Structure 1
Amino acid sequence: MRFRFLCLCMLGLSLNAHAAFSIPGFELVQTAPVETSLNNPDLADPVTIWCQQFDAAKTTIDIAQFYVTGEAGEPLEPVLEHLRKAGERGVKIRFLMDQHGLRMSNEATLTAIKSIPNLNFQLIDFGKIGGGIIHAKYIVVDGKSAFVGSQNFDWRALKHIHETGLLISDSKVAAQVQAIFNVDWQAQQLLAEGKPVPVLNQQVVAADESQSAYLVSSPNAYNPAGVGDSETELPKLLAKAQQEVYITVMTYAPLSYSVKKPAPYYAVIDDALRAAAQRGVKIHLMISAWNTGKPYIDYLKSLQVLPNIDVKVVTIPEAKQGFIPFARTLHSKTMEIDGKIAWIGTSNWEGGYMNTSRNLELVIQNPAMAKRLGELQRQLWNSPYAAALDINKTYPKPHPATAK
């Protein structure tokens, strides 16, 4: 069985060898939900990329995830097989997962990961550090290449969900991603020893916008040297917009994701969007149908009535096999500004992601990448899956199985 899936993955690598839209240092990666018209032949899929990364590893693989879940015969299985092969040939693997992700994880997948040779699996309660969770999804290989994207280590994210990521070969950015992993791995060890985790930044760290591509992260207090603050950078980029902005994100609201009722107000992003629209910038915002529950839908309607803001709700139809919990949705977290700037990351656009949780975002100031990302967004915007938000419509409450 293991050999069969290994062969299938290798076949996929061969078939997809031509699929590569890239600029120096970065390759755009997409998951298009099966049985939709959203596939792009020039964009590689994460299964291919992750298998290639693991096969190329010489010394180390570091992986950080919120949760993990697989199914027999589904796309995560060959990924785990290639990760196992890396461990068997002596590659040292560290796997860091947030403790709060256990409830969403599949026990069989956890067992399979923990059984991989040379793999050190650790849980971290990031709530004891920044107050949120490890929500970032990324991989670092040999400290020289990395993958950052919206794809969770979840078979559904590799087959049934709209996702966007980046393969990173830029050595400076990859080193920064490695530094973030090292900070969080050390934090886990300190927590396990009952020791405090030191704050790294007392002041907000500005991103180095002189670079054509740069990494920003959250929370600012626990970013390593040289990594800017994503919560500060997003409004700054929106303030630079002059003509048009396209945004795809699973959830959007000026509220903090919280167990508190009512949820705390969080206006950082909302204020920036409204300010851009007020000065004439056309804002195109796509959100998942999971975002239509109250009070979120009311905030979205308050945007839709404004000049220069258009909101669309994306609904991915049920798969032929029937309902799949926690699947068939928009999960990408991307922004394109004026055909000049691309933003690709792991944060939803509400409180709790860019201020208290560990998330990573890439800013690429490159017209070619911005144009290709914009095309990907317009493909979804103009598809039959995206419908204009109707301010007079009473939207159904999202299915209770469709949790974040």
Structure 2
Amino acid sequence: MRRKDPARRESRDTPLRRSSRLQPEKVEPEVRSGDADKQVSREPPSLKGSRSNDILQPRESIKAHRKQVHLSEDDSPPDPLRGPLPQSEPEARKDDRPTVSESESPLSPFVRLRRLAAPPEEETPGRRKGEEELQKPNLDWEVVKDERARLRVLETRRPQSMKGAPPAEEVTPSLQSPVENKALGRPARAGIGSRAGWGLRMEKTASSMLRAEVLPAGKPSRKGILVSPQRFRPLTALCFLLFLLVMGFACWFVWKHGIPGAWTGLMGYGQWKLSSFPSLWSETEECSNQCRVVLAESLPANLHLKSPNPSIYQAWVDLLAEAHSSVEIAAFYFTLRDSDLHVQDPSSQQGKAVFEALRGLPARGVKLSIAVNSPQLSENDTDDLARHGADVRYVNMKRLTGGVVHTKFWVVDQKHVYIGSANMDWRSLTQVKELGAVIYNCSCLAADLHRIFAIYHLLGEEGASVPASWPGGLTAESSLRHPLKLQLNGTDAEVYLSSSPPALCSKGRTSDLTAILSTIKDAEDFVYIAVMDYEPQCSFCKPKRFWPVIDDALRTAACERGVNVRLLLSCWRHSRPSMFVFLESLSVLSREPLGCPIEVKLFAVPSGGEQPPIPYAHVSHNKYMVTDRLAYIGTSNWSEDYFVNTTGVGLVVSQRDSASAHPPGFTLRQQLEEVFLRDWISAHAKPLSRHRECAKV
């Protein structure tokens, strides 16, 4: 008997390729019989791992084979962003499949992928299971409106063996999938896997659309984690914010305080201490809208002049009584008691009263700060005040600028100020003719004057020097171009402070000489000047030199613009003979044919026949100027030394004459004009030709 061939026996178990027309009845029953677990797969064995006894029709096996080849040649997996693949067209061509376009996609910039719940497996007639799995991926997408969300498309890997392969695991952590991430130990979900070794990266483009990119096999991004929009790092943001804050504060500090020229000296000043930094965010006190100004005078008893103004002594006593926190005084010298002369003069009682009030300030909790010229002939008063708690600074201006501290002003509680010609001398209250201005409840002006005092205070430190530029914290708050706009005695006014010498003028400060020249140039009708000394030269220079700056301005105003110029100069035993020569050269311009309206007179204070005479007394010590438009009250004599080397301040007030002022129609400018005219027509005013008589008194 012939032995059967093994290949022939095996072929009985293997289905033969037959035409579907020959055996239609055998295939259909197999499809319809059995449950879902026993259904025969119609995919080739390479795709589904079918049993060896599954029988496929010839055309159906060819279709399955073509389907497999078609999927392997595709470069990208089914697009989950367009939803499930259409089930009604299983034979759709590759070119007809939907794609994601930057210009056509209406999706939000951020999407999140999630796996849908697996539906129960069932098979409908006329549909093959393998075809359904290829067209309906178990994924869906949703729009995420939270900007912190990031699109993460996971890289999947096909198992090396297609038989019984587990689902691909994502590499990055997820928020919704129960699949465990092997790399991070966190829950993860399967990605939208395609073929083995291939991943899909989707990122946001500049046009806020999505762009898909296929990653090559074996080249994961960032150690297996697919590229996504870079996260905002809180630590980096915090450091960057801190850097911006530091740079902003540094810029503000340089703008506000400038770059200090003498840092060691500035550190000792209270403005630069740590306790002052809360003022950076505290509200700045606005200037009172109702500042009140009063002229104060000192008239010796032997001057038979009437004045509606209070005395300087009364003004000082009132200021000290009003003091609650601080009193700052800049002075040429301190001799309020007659101890410097070692005599007991009855007229020194007012000076002694002021000294006692000053010495009692620290005990009341009021800080007393003094800046005085050094050296002094007598330091008895300042040393006594220092022992009782006053902060006394001796400023050696001779070493710093070659001049002296000739300034005379007070700042009380940074609300009230006094500026005038009176020194801190008992004679200035009873034996010398003085004039000054007291301004009450004017914090903005007081704060500006405080900055000038701060410069003297700094220069009073040991080893101090004049810096190339003063810090921004001392910048002027008022100037010729930017005066303070306020009300004085109920009338609108513009006020600013000037200072000398220029080396001590901080940023924005108008120099004293510029203030005088601009006041003369601004006059339209008249210029009235009352000063002790007037010399168009450098009086203390060796050798002396000609300095016609102010003199030329007066000649120009009188001879070119027709402004009436009047000068009232002091004449006493310490007057320099050269001053009268300069005054004669100025007054001669009034003669024909020039006829310039210039007049000069001398004011002499009688001694009263005291024996022995009081030294440095009986003189008109005034230093002011008034025009038809402005009022100027200063502390300097009019020669080059006082504007180039010596310290001084000036108060310039522009005020419209108005009937609404209090008292009605009486502004500061008008008050000053009244004082000048009173002295001009008094019996103490002498013609210039009699200068030899008054100089011997």
Look up the match of 1:200: 469
Q: 1:108 to 1:127 in 2, by over 3 A?
A: closer
CA distance in 2, matches of 1:209, 1:49: 29
Say if 2:372 is the partner of 1:97: yes
Q: Looking at CA atoms only, which structure, 1 or 2, has the larger radius of gyration?
A: 2
Look up the match of 1:333: 623
Q: Deviations over 1:8-56 (max 9, x none)?
A: xxxxxxxxxxxxxxx834221111121212241x211121111121122
Q: CA deviation at 1:200?
A: 2.8
Alignment of 1:3-402 (within 5 A): 24-40=291-307, 42-69=308-335, 70-71=337-338, 73=346, 74=348, 75-100=350-375, 102-103=376-377, 105=378, 107-115=379-387, 117-169=388-440, 170-189=442-461, 192=462, 194-200=463-469, 207-208=480-481, 210-211=483-484, 212-261=494-543, 263-278=544-559, 279-290=561-572, 292-307=575-590, 308-322=597-611, 323-338=613-628, 340-366=629-655, 367=657, 368-390=667-689, 395=692, 398=695
CA distance in 2, matches of 1:48, 1:249: 23
CA distance in 1, matches of 2:384, 2:429: 18
SS of the residue aligned with 1:349?
Answer: coil
Q: 1:394 to 1:144 in 2, by over 3 A?
A: closer
Q: CA deviation at 1:345?
A: 1.0
Q: Deviations over 1:162-210 (max 9, x none)?
A: 1111112322221111111111111221xx1x353313379x9962355
TM superposition score normalised by structure 2: 0.50
Q: 1:267 to 1:82 in 2, by over 3 A?
A: same
Q: Deviations over 1:363-395 (max 9, x none)?
A: 1112411111011011111111101112xx672
| Unaligned residue ranges in structure 1 (runs of 5+) | 1-22
TM superposition score normalised by structure 1: 0.84
Q: 1:394 to 1:247 in 2, by over 3 A?
A: closer
Query: Given residue 305 of structure 1, which amino acid in structure 2 is its aligned partner?
Result: V
CA distance in 1, matches of 2:313, 2:467: 36
Higher relative CO (Cα under 8 Å, sequence separation at least 6) belongs to 1
SS of the residue aligned with 1:395?
Answer: helix
Query: Given residue 327 of structure 1, which amino acid in structure 2 is its aligned partner?
Result: A
Q: Bigger CA drift: 288-297 or 303-312?
A: 288-297
CA distance in 2, matches of 1:394, 1:164: 23
Contact 2:328 2:411 in 1 (8 A): yes
Query: Given residue 238 of structure 1, which amino acid in structure 2 is its aligned partner?
Result: I
Contact 1:176 1:227 in 2 (8 A): no
Q: Bigger CA drift: 320-329 or 340-349?
A: 320-329
CA distance in 1, matches of 2:400, 2:550: 23
Contact 2:371 2:394 in 1 (8 A): yes
CA distance in 2, matches of 1:44, 1:397: 28
Q: 1:311 to 1:127 in 2, by over 3 A?
A: same
SS of the residue aligned with 2:644?
Answer: coil
Q: Bigger CA drift: 317-326 or 342-351?
A: 317-326
Q: Bigger CA drift: 288-297 or 71-80?
A: 288-297
Contact 1:200 1:222 in 2 (8 A): no
Alignment RMSD: 2.3
Q: Name the % identity.
A: 30
CA distance in 1, matches of 2:332, 2:520: 28
